[in-house]
């Protein structure tokens, strides 16, 4: 049995360290809602991929979520700790075969392991369901380029959609990259950062912590459209831990998601170094998950209409949305009620090709 816990990282969690130790405090778990998720070890930390918000009830039932793998729960007697400090999820097909067993804690977060002949072994976790409060300062970072800002084809419509969600002008920050010089402007109550940094949406992540103060910045593109419910889905996230990054999809598609100010400051030297990157190499870094893999703590945004579970982005039709003669692929981000319009096939290599 462990005599000393393994320190996972140095993030404080309510004055404690994320230390792996044997046993689970069942009194903190039973009857309390928890985020049930996959726990994925990454290059510099870990990624939490939500499956649902659920509650283990004292009578063995699971409420708030329904899946054959988690039909009920019972104390677990065959592990390395006593059964009052361990449990198992039991499949709905019977009353005794476990789908996963749980007998460790990371801080106050129960850790379990799913075991299946088809899927192998997967690490799981149950994070106390603590939702961010209004005290958390969230701003919306709109990534644009000088060409689109100048002709007005994208930003005005997007701003109207943000206003319709009740997002105040002072919480909207627009970064216009590819400018001849750096300048700050206030336009109709909205802060604009005109930047000579020229790296597509990466420039927004570079400039944001240098220009503004916030807890989290939500990166969106000027080629996004948002729909009712967007703000609530973005802002009501689990903040039990201090997250570096909350991507909107499991693979951080299009870099859309929440970023902590501290994380962006830590990334700033690298983001500065990629000034002038072309679209091809920018996309390579994005799809390789370069930002996600640099995060110490990351949580994929969950969809409240899907029991709090995460969802991948979905490809839809090709449509000429901006009257440019260049049709774009609609990509839907269901977890946050947002659509993104992307050049299909080969990506443009310069802003003049947009």
Verify that 184 and 239 share a domain, yes or no. Answer: yes
Of 128, 163, 183, the one marking the end of a domain is: 128
Structural domain count, the chain: 2
Verify that 246 and 197 share a domain, yes or no. Answer: yes
Asked if residue 322 has pLDDT above 80, the reply is yes
Verify that 195 and 322 share a domain, yes or no. Answer: yes
Range of the domain at 160: 138-353
Residue 133 counted as domain residue: no
Asked if residue 12 has pLDDT above 80, the reply is no
Asked if residue 173 has pLDDT above 90, the reply is yes
H or E element at residue 158: helix 155-164
> Span 224-246, mean pLDDT?
96
Asked if residue 346 has pLDDT above 60, the reply is no
Verify that 114 and 164 share a domain, yes or no. Answer: no
Q: Among candidates 60, 118, 117, which has minimal Cα distance to 92?
A: 60
Question: Tell me, what's the pLDDT at 345?
Answer: 57
Per-residue pLDDT tens digits for 111-170:
999 987 788 899 999 999 999 988 899 999 999 999 889 988 899 999 999 999 999 999
Question: Tell me, what's the pLDDT at 93?
Answer: 87
Question: Tell me, what's the pLDDT at 4?
Answer: 40
Verify that 113 and 146 share a domain, yes or no. Answer: no
- Alpha-carbon dihedral sign for residues 203, 205, 210, 211: positive
Residue 234 counted as domain residue: yes
Verify that 142 and 124 share a domain, yes or no. Answer: no
Which pairs count as long-range contacts for 11-17, CB under 8 Å and 24+ apart, including other chains?
A: 11/241, 11/242, 11/296, 11/297, 12/242, 13/107, 13/108, 13/240, 13/241, 13/242, 16/107, 16/108, 17/107
> Span 256-268, mean pLDDT?
98
Asked if residue 249 has pLDDT above 50, the reply is yes
DSSP letter for 290, please. Answer: H
Question: Tell me, what's the pLDDT at 7?
Answer: 45
Residue 276 counted as domain residue: yes
Among 13-22, 40-49, 156-165, 344-353, the range scoring the smallest mean pLDDT is 344-353
* CATH number (domain holding residue 227): 3.90.550
Query: What is the average pLDDT score of the chain?
Result: 91
Asked if residue 321 has pLDDT above 80, the reply is yes
Question: Tell me, what's the pLDDT at 51?
Answer: 97
User: How many beta carbons lie within 10 A of that of residue 75, not counting itself?
Assistant: 13
* CATH number (domain holding residue 30): 2.40.128
Q: Among candidates 73, 63, 117, 62, which has minimal Cα distance to 95?
A: 73
Asked if residue 27 has pLDDT above 60, the reply is yes
Verify that 269 and 143 share a domain, yes or no. Answer: yes
Asked if residue 352 has pLDDT above 80, the reply is no
Verify that 86 and 213 share a domain, yes or no. Answer: no
Higher confidence at residue 8 or residue 238?
Answer: 238
Verify that 93 and 201 share a domain, yes or no. Answer: no
């Amino acid at each position: 049995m462990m005599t000393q816990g393994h320190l996972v990282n140095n993030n404080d969690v309510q004055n404690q360290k994320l230390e792996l130790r044997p046993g689970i405090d069942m009194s903190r778990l039973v009857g309390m809602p928890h985020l049930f998720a996959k726990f994925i070890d990454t290059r510099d930390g870990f990624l939490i991929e939500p499956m649902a918000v659920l509650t283990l009830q004292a009578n063995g039932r699971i409420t708030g979520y329904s899946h054959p793998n988690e039909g009920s729960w019972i104390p677990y007697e065959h592990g390395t700790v006593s059964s009052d400090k361990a449990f198992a999820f039991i499949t709905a097909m019977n009353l005794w075969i476990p789908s996963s067993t749980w007998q460790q804690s990371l801080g106050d977060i129960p850790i379990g392991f799913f075991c299946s002949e088809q899927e192998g072994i997967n690490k799981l976790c149950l994070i106390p369901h603590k939702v961010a409060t209004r005290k958390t300062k969230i701003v919306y970072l709109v990534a644009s380029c000088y060409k689109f800002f100048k002709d007005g084809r994208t930003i005005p419509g997007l701003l109207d959609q943000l206003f319709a969600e009740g997002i105040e002008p002072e919480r909207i920050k627009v970064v216009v990259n590819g400018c001849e010089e750096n300048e700050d402007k206030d336009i109709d109550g909205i802060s604009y950062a005109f930047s000579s940094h020229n790296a597509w949406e990466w420039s927004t992540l570079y400039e944001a912590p240098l220009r503004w103060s916030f807890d989290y910045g939500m990166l969106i593109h000027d080629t996004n459209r948002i729909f009712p419910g967007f703000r609530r889905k973005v802002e009501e996230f689990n903040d039990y831990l201090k997250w570096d990054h909350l991507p909107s999809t499991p693979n951080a598609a299009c870099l859309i998601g929440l970023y902590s100010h501290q994380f962006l400051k830590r990334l700033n030297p690298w983001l500065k170094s990629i000034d002038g990157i072309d679209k091809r190499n920018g996309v390579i870094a994005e799809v390789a998950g370069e930002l996600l893999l640099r995060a110490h703590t990351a949580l994929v945004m969950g969809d409240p209409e899907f029991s709090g579970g995460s969802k991948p982005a979905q490809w839809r039709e090709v449509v000429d949305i901006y009257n440019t003669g260049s049709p774009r692929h609609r990509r839907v981000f269901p977890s946050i009620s947002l659509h993104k319009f992307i050049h299909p096939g080969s990506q443009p290599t310069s802003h003049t090709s947009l």
